[in-house]
Structure 1
Amino acid sequence: MKPHYLTPLFSPRNVAVVGASDTPGSVGQAIFANLLAGNFQGKLYPVNLHHRVVGGIPAYTSVKLIEGPVDMVVVTTALRSLPGIVKDCGKKGVKGILLAKDFGDSEAQEREALNEAVSIAKHYGIRILGPNVLGLMRPVAGFNASNYTSKVKAGNLALVSQSSALCTAMLDWADSKGIGFSSVVSVGEALDVEFGEILDYLVSDNFTQGILLHVHHVHDARRFMSALRAAARTKPVVVVKSGRYEDDVTGLMHSSNLVESGDVFDAALSRAGVLRVATIAQLFTAAKVLAANYRVAGKRLAIVTNGIGPGVLAADSAYMYGVELAKLAPATLELLDESLPVNWSHGNPVDIIGDASPVRFRTAVKACLDDPNVDGVLVIFTPQAGTDHLTTAQLMVGLQRESSKPMFLSWLGDAKVSESRELFSKAKCAHFRAPEFAIEVFRNLASYHHNQKMLLQTPAPLEGEQVVPDVLKARAVITTALLEGRSVLSERESKEVLAAFNIPVNRTTLAKDVEEAIGLAAEIGYPVVLKIDSPDIIYKSDVGGVELNISNEHSLREAFAGIMTRTREAQPDARIEGVSVQAMRKRRHARELMVGVTHDASFGPVITFGAGGIAVEIMQDRALSLPPVNHYLVERMIDKTRIGKILGPFKNMPGVDIDTLKSVLLHVSELVCELPEVREMDINPLVADESGVIALDARIIVQTVKRTKPYGHMAIMPYPMHMVHCSMLKDGTPVNIRPVRPEDAYMTQEFVRNLSEESRYNRYMSSIKQLSQTMLVRFTQLDYDREMALAMTHETAEGEEQLAVARYVTDPDNESCEFALEVADHWQGKGIGVILMNALFDAAREQGLKVMVGEVLAGNKGMLKLMSRLGFVVQVHPEDRALTIVTKDLLQALPVQNSQ
């Protein structure tokens, strides 16, 4: 891959500072002084209209007059001069500009100058970072283009912050803790370069082993999520969010009123495989623990202590933080009974009595670490008569090296145990002055593990279901409403859309007058329900527009008249289509649920689930997830709610049909994936019991949207199920072609192992025998938006066998990509390359790629013929036995071809 397009910003070789000055207190002076003092190895050029020399270096009056090349320009001057500066930079060939000055609440004229400068920058292909106050640092390279006055240590953590003030506070806190950084980026207003692009760069940065983010708001959610998920697959990412209660989720439905923007952000981060924390202290603590490769497989904690008081307090903290105290296995309890004094606590917390020796500590901790019911152990040492804190600490350090489970060490006290703390620090063990801090970190590790599992979920719009929805029918209903100038579908129309996606609904029929209603009631069978049918009324009960349990014709006539009268009095201007007639559903063991869809300004559609009925807003019982969802994600949603606890057998009630309930949530996910026009939806109540699930009431709000690429309205790209298809090789072998999934890791590893040494070397430029874990993750956990891998497989008696794989990865600029093709040695010569590459090009065309650059072995004559036939320019390089294939317009150069 070519260097990242942000390299001129983050790793410049030649830097000009416009506004560089010797004037004390000026931004230009602070930044230029930092660049001079930072041991930056590149060339520095001060640009100043009034001084010929700045800091002992000859100054220029304009960027375009600088003789040598300039990668990056730091602008510290007034906003009104920015368009001219950017134009000079464009003519000079500059690719990166840092606006390192606080422009504050710019006036209209200044804002116009700023917008003009951005427009000029786009014309010349210049990327702009800022405007912001602090600037940009690369401590690992001695590069400090900021006005931060204190020294920043070099390290392996990258800090990216949306607030310069908060960034300064974080740097000060980190300095007091001896934490260093590979990069420090103050994003500021993010007029051009934003989080997603910065994350892209940091993912490929070898100096960065962990990423810390402070986020206030997100502009491009798809890019942000894509980059965040890519980063989280290879490096720990910890996020702190400000502005949690600035609610961006607005709407008319109950499901929207129940959701805050912070909830949506939490759901997005959990799907991205990153960890969200609440404070700056937690941010750095979590980053250090994750970077030290501490991992947990769950949230079950064992506490071992030689003081029952601190142990009980720690258990209370665990309860408060939602950490589960592990239930020790019988074998563990038996071992502890044999090894500990008879008056030990006989449970968790494990109190091994105040005079515990180092060996007794080791025995108890080792037993807990070996327990299959334990995910981590907190060791609390209290200095008492007969104890040896240092020897105990030495044994714990050795024990941590033997175990894959994390240990959290809390030696209470100060001067008496200082030697032990120094030992823990040198051994890089997780140690804490107070047990509650350790429990908090363990909780964060458990959350991180959970989110990493969520990251692996790449569901299709509807996964594993064979019933095809009637998408055209649903779109017809929505289109009719939009053409009539309506955004609110009636209950009857909403249920038509739900039914088109195979969601069970209570049949609703419109009656224009009372006689028609009587006829429908006779057809349906009493008792029935009457509801006002009006596109202008969302909640019918608010206007008295509902009558339940109508048992005869006389009651129906009275109810019909009453509904019409009350509705016209409450809302005289409402359009009334008539009254809908439905069967009165009485289910003895029913639970009333709600499934909703709301729309977040940043992350798009959000699915909500929780308790339904009339108390939906009072109970505030809901869980949410970004679509698409699968069975695993649906189960997590249900488990998070209080109503979910009583869906199984409860007192005298049988459990509900949970599989059908999950199916409804999956169908709702499919609906919002396929219908970007759906902005809000309430299914309330959704009645569930042992015999099934049925939507008794529903409303949908729609909006005209501009369709771009598939699923462009979603923050997370679904698994592209539509790319799965069958084909046949020249010899008649039936094969399947499908996008690679995380579950294919074992199959991918076997495929690589079975390649010949020559094939592996030609593909990976190495004599590897198999893929490393990092490479395996990279090749199987795909984004499907900026990267694609198609596997060709066929069924054998032993299961699915991979014959070949073709993949492309776009450059971060999303304008070009590289591709590769691998074919199993014993399957070569069967036309696999033609079939698979055609499918890959189809996928690339779908994403609108315009330029493709790739390399394959020159010895593959079939590929040469294929590329030539597809209109590529082929350049062979004999020295490295590779060829480069280039096209200026993929959409035109790649006609659709028959895979045979």
Structure 2
Amino acid sequence: MSTYGLGSVFRAASIVVIGASPRERSVGRVVLRNLRQAGFDGRLGLVNPRHRSVDGMPSVARIADLGWAPELAVITAPARLVPRIAAEAAAAGTRAAIVVSAGLGDGPGSFAAQLQAVARPAGLRIVGPNCMGVMAPHLRLNASVAAHAAAPGDLALLSQSGAIAAGMVEWARARSVGFSAVATLGDGLDVDFGDLLDYFAFDRGTRAILLYVEAIGDARKFMSAARAAARAKPVVVVKAGRHARALDPATHVAALAAPDAVYGAAFRRAGLLRVQSLEELFAAAETLRHLRATPGRRLAILGNGGGVGALALDRLLDLEGTPATLSGATMERLQAALPATWSHGNPVDITGDADGARYSAAIDALLADPDNDALLLVNAPTALSSSGEAARAVAASLARRPPAASGKPVLGVWLGGEPAALDVLDAAGVPTYATEADAVRGFMYLVRHREAQLALMETPPSLPEDFAVDAAGAREVVAGAMAAGREWLGPAEVARLLEAYAIPFTPLQVAAGPDEAVAAAAPLLEAGQAVAVKVLSPDIVHKSDVDGVRLNLVGERDVREAADSILQRAREARPGARIDGLIVQPMIRRPKARELILGIADDPAFGPVVVFGRGGTAVELIDDKALALPPLDLRLAHELIGRTRVSRILKAYRDVPAADERAVALVLVKLAQLAADIPALRELDINPLLADRDGVIAVDARVRIAPSQPLHKGPGHPRFAVRPYPSEWERELTLADGKRALVRPVRPEDDAMFRRFFEHVSSEDLRLRFFNAVRHFSHEFIARLTQLDYARAIALAMIDPGSGEMLGAVRLVADADYDRGEYGILVRSDLKGQGIGWRLMRIMIEYAHWLELRVVEGQVLRENSTMIEMCRQLGFRIEADPEDATLVNVVLPVAGS
């Protein structure tokens, strides 16, 4: 239900606590006490049929006896009573409930199922059950069982664990860190991370969001909300269970796709900043509390001693940061201001007797230097200088810094932690750290957040012309195997599947026994080629486990002996396995090729995952891999490759030419497309894929299939956490003037097309569309129009097929439950009156039916009579906006129409 009703949780005007008793350890009594101590100034009621008052506050027997409708209910009663209480609250007009009570169970017939059955039809939002509660410090709302209330601030903390949230509140109190909200999900029966991310992404009082995650339920909803939130503000996440293993992996890629690695891939794709511990989450919070972002990874280090600066430089290099160089102008300024014994490089050591004036001169020079992106300032207490004076010098320099340097982050390490100096730095907006390692790590948080933002905003290249697939042929192969009731494709079927996606594969022949193997190898041997013989068994996934592979066979006798030995060893090692025969292949002689592994694994939460890494028989021991959620384009594929150690040896070294990395990336893109085209694909393992300067070739591959089980709500691919490009909505049509036009979903590479389109839209039409004047079309502005999350948004562009110019576009954004959608539309100003807007609106309404939305709605300026009349003709209701007289709301019922 997305953000519906969440305002009644975090901005409640009236609250009722249900279940508080005079007993000292009563959960309800703690909640009541916390609400009163926090100073909640809304209406507060208490329900408990067994007690007339609790702590001097009168109690009534039922919610109906209050005489007023509480906006929020906090339920602490026994589990068996919770469904009935929720039904009474909904009947009384309550919009949301926080269920602190535990023990509601799960599954059909449980109290949790009963609670859901009464709450959802009534539109009653449920936080919990089994949660610590919620805090909204700016509103003095503490509806929780935490030991202390959180201080007001601008960090939103969202946690599945109440204990973690309570601990973070205690940490924050000791460091004067405040929160815009603290919310615990507990069992997450209704309100989940997706809902809360949607809510706080647009909460003006929240500058950054902190997540503690144990498991994600609705992965597509989470990814959609997380990507939207990460575009708006920093989102930092820590996840428990990092060492969980994949359950019963059948292939190498499945073993490599451990649950935590999949979560890491999901967080990366969503643009979240992942940290590994609560300590790091606290450190990230401290950094984000002060600093917005950094334009790059070049760090300048300034201090009054060489040792700490050198350690900071080492840590920077450990974390793959970049030491800043000092420009010529900066060197001249420092040379003139510093003693001759300064370090003459980065780190800038201004020596142990540095006073405030020396700090100021060095800081001013570094702030003005365009060759660095951020400053780390270090102060070590000495008898020759004052830490407080140095801090005041920092504050003064920052107060007078030029506008060009106003966004440059400055971090501090004041060893010794003199309170007065730290207060000065805090007031100046400089986060301080206990050690240089902590400070460098804080800087890298900013770097990684900025890079995640850029990745979300980048315009990927269009797919290459040599991207050719035969999806129908591949589906035919899989359908045949499924009709036969098989879980694994046979070798010939695997070859046909890869051939359908133009993935080079070593030719193979299937032999029933040694005689057939010799016959199959004969032509290759006569041509001077060595051959490989392998066991063929649907029950033996890893052939090397049973000594089932023989390589470099150069004679018929060798082939026969190898075939006999392979079959004998396989039967001895796996007496129950089905042995279907042998595979005979030519040996691929590529002495300078790199062995890689590529494939698709299937995660129970996130669905298909693309895996890339170092190949070979020891692939799991080497564990050099990276994962990504499909779909992929070439940019994402190259980025995936770059996150592995094996990527380094894909480059040229010594006498080995560089491998064709683009060919490897293209195979990854094709595998992602294969997973998109065939939802029945469960695992695909290519190991090894040989890559050298001449291209790539797959030597061995395994493919497992199974009937597709939907993981996500809504239409489209049933298993992708990130919905792929909806090509089924491409169509051609004829306009009123007889001209042909193409309508298709907007793609990320449409940046230039949109820019040209806006050149043909008048400033008045832009004002009517965006409700204010638009003068600058920044990359970020265009990216928000073209970088679509197809899980919840669609933009359909009408294009002249001859010129490639865009004629108009319509956009529809659905909520997370596919209940309501909001539309927007814009047509070129010089093409009005040609029916373009009408046709686009009709297709948008058709798409809303496909999504099974209940309602499509929008806001229109009252003066925009043309749009209002078109909406009226299309069946929209026209209603006055109760909050803005300049607007009207247009509402179209979709379901059943």
Segments of 5+ residues of structure 1 without an aligned counterpart are 894-900
Measure how far apart 1:172 and its partner are.
Answer: 0.9
Letter in 1 for 2:822: E
User: 2:432 — aligned with what?
Assistant: 431
Q: Does 1:471 find its partner at 2:467?
A: no
Give distance in 1, aligned partners of 2:807 and 2:315: 53
User: 1:140 — aligned with what?
Assistant: 138
User: 2:393 — aligned with what?
Assistant: 392
Give distance in 2, aligned partners of 1:509 and 1:848: 49
Measure how far apart 1:386 and its partner are.
Answer: 6.5
Measure how far apart 1:806 and its partner are.
Answer: 1.2
Q: Does 1:709 find its partner at 2:715?
A: yes
Residues 606 and 372 of structure 1, relative CA distance in 2, 3 Å threshold: farther
Q: Does 1:13 find its partner at 2:17?
A: no
For the Cα contact (< 8 Å) 2:862–2:886, is it kept in 1?
no
Q: Does 1:591 find its partner at 2:589?
A: no
The alignment partner of 1:233 has SS state of helix
User: 2:647 — aligned with what?
Assistant: 644
Measure how far apart 1:634 and its partner are.
Answer: 1.9
Give distance in 1, aligned partners of 2:3 and 2:392: 51
Give distance in 2, aligned partners of 1:102 and 1:232: 32
Q: Does 1:493 find its partner at 2:466?
A: no
User: 2:210 — aligned with what?
Assistant: 212
Measure how far apart 1:523 and its partner are.
Answer: 4.1
Cα shift readout 1:491-533 (whole Å, capped 9, x = no counterpart): 3332322222221111122223445434433444432222222
> Which deviates further from its counterpart, 679-688 or 405-414?
405-414
> Which deviates further from its counterpart, 576-585 or 551-560?
551-560
Give distance in 2, aligned partners of 1:419 and 1:309: 24
The alignment partner of 1:710 has SS state of coil
> Which deviates further from its counterpart, 281-290 or 874-883?
874-883
User: 2:26 — aligned with what?
Assistant: 26
User: 1:788 — aligned with what?
Assistant: 794
Give distance in 1, aligned partners of 2:367 and 2:192: 44
What TM-score do the two structures reach when normalised by structure 2? Answer: 0.90
Give distance in 2, aligned partners of 1:177 and 1:290: 14
Measure how far apart 1:144 and its partner are.
Answer: 1.9
User: 2:128 — aligned with what?
Assistant: 130
The alignment partner of 1:681 has SS state of strand
The RMSD of aligned alpha carbons is: 3.3
Residues 613 and 430 of structure 1, relative CA distance in 2, 3 Å threshold: same
Measure how far apart 1:656 and its partner are.
Answer: 1.0
Cα shift readout 1:8-44 (whole Å, capped 9, x = no counterpart): 3333333222213333321111212223333334322
User: 1:897 — aligned with what?
Assistant: none
Within 5 A, what are the aligned runs for 1:172-187?
Answer: 172-187=170-185
Letter in 2 for 1:807: R
User: 1:687 — aligned with what?
Assistant: 690
Measure how far apart 1:838 and its partner are.
Answer: 3.2
Give distance in 2, aligned partners of 1:313 and 1:419: 26
User: 1:302 — aligned with what?
Assistant: 300
Give distance in 2, aligned partners of 1:653 and 1:337: 46
The alignment partner of 1:50 has SS state of coil
Measure how far apart 1:694 and its partner are.
Answer: 0.3
Q: Does 1:544 find its partner at 2:547?
A: yes
For the Cα contact (< 8 Å) 1:21–1:32, is it kept in 2?
no
Cα shift readout 1:403-460 (whole Å, capped 9, x = no counterpart): 1332223333444xx5443322112123334322210101111111222223236869
Give distance in 2, aligned partners of 1:465 and 1:12: 56
The alignment partner of 2:232 has SS state of coil
Within 5 A, what are the aligned runs for 1:726-737?
Answer: 729-731=735-737, 736-737=742-743
Within 5 A, what are the aligned runs for 1:9-158?
Answer: 9-103=9-103, 112-158=110-156
Choose the corresponding residue for 1:821, options 821, 825, 838: 825
Letter in 1 for 2:50: H
Measure how far apart 1:587 and its partner are.
Answer: 0.9
The alignment partner of 2:533 has SS state of strand
Give distance in 2, aligned partners of 1:650 and 1:399: 49
User: 1:504 — aligned with what?
Assistant: 504
Residues 444 and 15 of structure 1, relative CA distance in 2, 3 Å threshold: same
Residues 489 and 336 of structure 1, relative CA distance in 2, 3 Å threshold: farther
For the Cα contact (< 8 Å) 2:613–2:626, is it kept in 1?
yes
Within 5 A, what are the aligned runs for 1:616-765?
Answer: 616-706=619-709, 709-724=715-730, 729-731=735-737, 736-741=742-747, 755-765=761-771
Measure how far apart 1:595 and its partner are.
Answer: 1.0
Segments of 5+ residues of structure 2 without an aligned counterpart are none
Give distance in 1, aligned partners of 2:254 and 2:793: 33
For the Cα contact (< 8 Å) 2:459–2:749, is it kept in 1?
no
User: 1:421 — aligned with what?
Assistant: 422
Measure how far apart 1:234 and its partner are.
Answer: 0.9
Q: Does 1:830 find its partner at 2:834?
A: yes
Residues 771 and 94 of structure 1, relative CA distance in 2, 3 Å threshold: farther
Q: Does 1:531 find its partner at 2:537?
A: no
User: 1:849 — aligned with what?
Assistant: 853
> Which deviates further from its counterpart, 596-605 or 692-701?
596-605
Cα shift readout 1:176-211 (whole Å, capped 9, x = no counterpart): 111222221111121222111122222233332221
Q: Does 1:601 find its partner at 2:604?
A: yes
Cα shift readout 1:112-131 (whole Å, capped 9, x = no counterpart): 33332222323433332112
Measure how far apart 1:652 and its partner are.
Answer: 1.2
Letter in 1 for 2:581: G
Cα shift readout 1:447-486 (whole Å, capped 9, x = no counterpart): 11222223236869x9345533122222222233333332
Give distance in 1, aligned partners of 2:723 and 2:286: 31
Within 5 A, what are the aligned runs for 1:511-590?
Answer: 511-524=511-524, 525=527, 526-590=529-593
Residues 343 and 12 of structure 1, relative CA distance in 2, 3 Å threshold: closer
For the Cα contact (< 8 Å) 1:854–1:884, is it kept in 2?
yes
Within 5 A, what are the aligned runs for 1:111-510?
Answer: 112-248=110-246, 250-328=248-326, 340-356=338-354, 358=356, 360-369=358-367, 373-384=371-382, 385=384, 389-390=390-391, 392-398=393-399, 402=403, 403=405, 404-415=407-418, 418-456=419-457, 463-510=463-510
Letter in 2 for 1:143: L
Give distance in 1, aligned partners of 2:401 and 2:348: 18
For the Cα contact (< 8 Å) 1:251–1:598, is it kept in 2?
no
> Which deviates further from its counterpart, 601-610 or 680-689?
601-610
Give distance in 2, aligned partners of 1:515 and 1:597: 36
Identity of aligned residues (%): 36
Letter in 1 for 2:314: D
For the Cα contact (< 8 Å) 2:811–2:825, is it kept in 1?
yes
> Which deviates further from its counterpart, 650-659 or 405-414?
405-414
Letter in 1 for 2:62: S
Measure how far apart 1:736 and its partner are.
Answer: 4.9
For the Cα contact (< 8 Å) 2:760–2:830, is it kept in 1?
no
Residues 438 and 386 of structure 1, relative CA distance in 2, 3 Å threshold: closer
Measure how far apart 1:373 and its partner are.
Answer: 4.7
Measure how far apart 1:227 and its partner are.
Answer: 0.9
The alignment partner of 2:169 has SS state of helix
Give distance in 2, aligned partners of 1:71 and 1:283: 33
Letter in 2 for 1:489: L
Residues 470 and 155 of structure 1, relative CA distance in 2, 3 Å threshold: same
Residues 458 and 21 of structure 1, relative CA distance in 2, 3 Å threshold: farther
Residues 513 and 383 of structure 1, relative CA distance in 2, 3 Å threshold: closer
For the Cα contact (< 8 Å) 2:3–2:199, is it kept in 1?
no
For the Cα contact (< 8 Å) 2:47–2:60, is it kept in 1?
yes
Measure how far apart 1:487 and its partner are.
Answer: 1.8
Letter in 1 for 2:643: K
Residues 151 and 513 of structure 1, relative CA distance in 2, 3 Å threshold: closer
